[in-house]
Structures are given as structure tokens and as C-alpha cells.
Amino acid sequence: MRIRLEVADDGISENTTTQTTVYGNMTAVPTIREEVSKETPSSPSRGRADLTSDHSVTADEERDIIRDTEGPDEEGFPEGGLHAWLVVLGSWLALFSSLGLMNSLAVFHNYIGTHQLASYSHGTVGWIFSVYTWLCFGGGLFIGPLFDKYGPRWLILSGTVCLVVAVMLLSICTDYWHFMLAFGVLNGLGASLLFTPSIAAVGHWFKERRGLATGVASSGGSIGGIVFPLALNGLLDRLGWAWTIRIIGFICLALCGTANLLIRSRLRPALNATARPDFRILRDTAFALTTAGIFLLELALFIPITYISSYMVHEGFRTDQAYQILAILNAASVFGRVLAGWWGDAFGPFNSNMLAVVLSMVACLGVWLPAGSTLGGIVVFAVLFGFASGNNISISPVCIGRLCMTQNYGRYYATTYTLVAFACLIGIPIGGEIITATDGEYWGLKVFTGAIYCTSLLALWAAKVVCVGWRVLAVF
């Protein structure tokens, strides 16, 4: 149903016409998120806008909605071409460095926890990496709106400086507070400055193929998660900690430096673009449920990524095998991220995300839990979980994009991942404390991870129901 709302100083009058919102080949309940059509104002004091709504709102809220939706035309996305794919390449390079380090957390956790910080517990060491992931995602609260208003240029440059300096400082860290400041704080801030605008910039060049383009870009993080663990495994014994980490820093400098030349935005800022965060959008039920689903998903996701290598060492495997299993997990994640884009474009990002969550549940509870010290079982888990988690990481931002206009995507994305950051902050230390509580065993960690995935599935499914009703097979 389309509600024609005429906004004037004395209130709102309604005229009702009929319209259907279509997702793929399925009809859906219309919402205020759909694009509006502007008409010429009838007088200086009287404006007119068409929008779809299933909400009861006040006149002041309607004016806010109209200001939100007015902006540059969303038609005519390139959907490809040299400039568009160069932006994807630049995002790939930036995410190779930022998310590549994030996907190597298990190696850093195992090495630091058995060398420089051997006297500290799993949970205490885990706080370094939880602060890192918290800042990486939480910084989006401010970085997303800044991207909407000013574009990616200075954000990417600042992120490059922070990340490279942090990695170089990491090479000389010896005490706990050194690691917390260098890796946890400075590297986390640099990763956020790279991660948020890299993902958001892709959305300026693709709409119909956004899932595929985002998947290709985010696969850089998986490739980095293959290269960095293998590099650490091959260089640590030969060169030692300091020069191995410096080499990683020089790699990040080259890749991020190139990304600075390639990443750019295309759409003009929305008329209401602001550098100030705005939590009013959480009043949208579907958006709030989607945010909750992604929160729970990320809470579970970083636990296996962080503890898989220490789990291998605990089960009696060699250190090189413990590092290689992380490379296997990230290799499977490459396929999950790219195929998630194709699947999400064809059958809907929410459907793709929920299917991946189910696969993660099966991997944790059906494979990892009974695997024990069986190498084959652990490898199967790494492949299944890597593929599923790659899908989740790639397609979750596309789910957010389904609920807002492109020009406001940075703000919506930032709001979600600011809250998600707190899941990253508490997830890794909780995992460490569970290991301590079970006398160094990992069965409790596996059950906890699987249970969190179950609740994430329920939240994402509820968000889909809000948007399209009870149509189980609806493309959304």
C-alpha cells in the first residue's frame, strides 16, 4: 500500500493508492525503507512526497523520513566496468591487510600466549584481541557517517598510517601493556579506518550485483588469513619475532598504499548526511532484529577463529599443523565469501546468511564437538566452518543494505557494527574463561559456540518475517 503524505505546517493529509513492493519474484509487505518519488512542491510552505509505510508516525518524524530519503538518484549504478572493479580491487587490498590480520588471530594468540605472555591466562591474553576486534567494528559508529559525508580518501589514508605503525610497534613489544596498546588499540583503530570505508565504497558502484562485488572484495581478508599464518610459520623460526612482524608490516604498507590510489566513492552525499551518529534507525523492527542476529553471529564467529590453533596444540599436534589449520579454514572462507555474493544476489542475502548459520551450527556441534584429537575431523570442521563463516562475513553487510538507501548505508552499517563490536569485545575472553572453567578442555567452548549460532538464526529469521511475512521460500 502506498500512502501519499502531504506535509504542511498544519499537519499531514493522506490519500491512498495501491502499490506492491517486489523482492525477486515474491511480493512483500511495504516499509518506509523503500525509495520515494519526489514531486514539485505546490507552494513554498507546502512539500509533497510519496513513500510506503507500515508504521504510524508523527508529522515531525515524517519530515525526518523525507529528509532521509531525498538525495541523489539511485538509478544508473555502473554494475561493473574498469572504475567499479578497480574500487573492488582497492577494497580487496585494504581488507587483505586489515581482515587478514584479524583472520590470523589464532596464530598471534598462540605464539604470544606461549612466549612473551606465557605467564598470563587464556582469557587475559584474549582481551588484547577482543579490544582489537571491538575497535575494528566499533569505530564504524563514527567512521561510517564520516564516509557518508566526506568519502573514503582521508579515512583510508589514516587507516594505512595507523595499521602500519601498529604492526611495526608490535615487533618490539615485550610487556602486556605494549601488546594492548600496539595491537589492541592502534591496530584496531587502523583496521576500522580501512574496513568500514572499503566495504561501503563498493556499494556506491554496485546495486544488483552488490553481493558478488562485496564477496569478491571481502575475500581479500580470507587470502590474507592464508598468507599471514603461513608466513609466520615459515619465518618465525628463521628470523625471529621482530623481523617476521616487520616483514608483515612492509606487506601491509605496500597493499594499503595501493588501496589509497584505487578506492573512491561515486554518489553525492545524502542531503541529511552527517558526521554525528544516529540511533533512531533502531526503531525499525527489521533493522533491530537484523542487528541482533549479526551481533550473535559475530559473538560466535571469532571464538573458533581465535582458539583453533591453541586447540590443536592442546590436542598434541605440532605447532606447524596448528598454524596450517588456520590457513585451511581461511582458504575455505574464500569460496564462502565469493559464492555468498552470487547466492545472495540470486536468492536473497537473508536466505544466504541463514543457510550459512545453519552450516556453522552443524560444523560446531556435529563435527568439531565429537572430533576430539582426530586430524581428519578437525580438517573437516575447518573447511565447513571456514566456508560458512566466510559467507556470514561477506553477506551480512548486504543484509543491512537491503534495509536502507545507498546514500545512508554508511550510517546504517556503522550503527549495526558498533553494537556488533561489543560482541567481539566479550566473545574472545568468554571463550578463554570457558576453557579455564573446564580445566583446559574445549568441549564447553564448542557447545557455547553452537548455541549462540542457534539464537542468531532465530533473530535473522524473525527479521525476514517482519519484512516479507511467513513466506519461508521468499527471496529476501
Q: Report whether pLDDT(400) > 50.
A: yes
pLDDT at site 280: 82
Q: Is residue 75 included in any domain, yes or no?
A: no
Whether residue 124 sits in one domain with residue 241: yes
Q: Report whether pLDDT(51) > 90.
A: no
Whether residue 369 sits in one domain with residue 279: yes
Q: Is residue 111 included in any domain, yes or no?
A: yes
Q: What is the pLDDT of residues 442-453, one digit of tens each?
A: 999 999 999 999
Q: Sort 97 into a burial class: Cβ within 10 Å, 0-12 / 13-18 / 19+.
A: buried
Whether residue 224 sits in one domain with residue 147: yes
pLDDT at site 217: 87
CA distance 108 to 52: 50
Whether residue 387 sits in one domain with residue 350: yes
Mean pLDDT, the chain, rounded, equals 79
Q: Report whether pLDDT(340) > 90.
A: no
> What's the domain count of the chain?
2
Whether residue 88 sits in one domain with residue 58: no
Choice among 115-119, 181-185, 209-213 with the minimum mean pLDDT: 209-213
Q: Give the confidence band of 253 by pLDDT, cuts at 50, 70, 90.
A: very high
Whether residue 392 sits in one domain with residue 350: yes
Q: Is residue 165 included in any domain, yes or no?
A: yes
Q: Report whether pLDDT(454) > 80.
A: yes
Whether residue 131 sits in one domain with residue 60: no
Whether residue 87 sits in one domain with residue 58: no
CA distance 263 to 467: 33
Q: Give the confidence band of 128 by pLDDT, cuts at 50, 70, 90.
A: very high
Mean pLDDT for the stretch of residues 144-173? 90
Q: Is residue 112 included in any domain, yes or no?
A: yes
Last residue of a domain, one of 69, 100, 116: 69
Starting at the earlier edge strand, list the strands of the sheet with 47-52.
Answer: 11-17, 2-8, 47-52, 37-38
Q: Is residue 474 included in any domain, yes or no?
A: no
Q: Is residue 95 included in any domain, yes or no?
A: yes
Q: Is residue 74 included in any domain, yes or no?
A: no
Whether residue 103 sits in one domain with residue 38: no
Whether residue 123 sits in one domain with residue 58: no
Last residue of a domain, one of 69, 95, 122: 69
Q: Is residue 475 included in any domain, yes or no?
A: no
Whether residue 40 sits in one domain with residue 185: no
Whether residue 329 sits in one domain with residue 412: yes
Taking each continuous run of H as one helix and of E as one strand, the counts in the chain are 16, 6
CA distance 329 to 390: 9
Last residue of a domain, one of 42, 69, 96: 69
Backbone angles phi, psi at 475, to 5 degrees: -80, 105
Q: What is the pLDDT of residues 70-89, one digit of tens each?
A: 444 445 666 667 888 898 99
CATH for 107 = 1.20.1250.20
pLDDT at site 443: 92
pLDDT at site 265: 76
Q: Containing domain of residue 30, as a range? A: 2-69
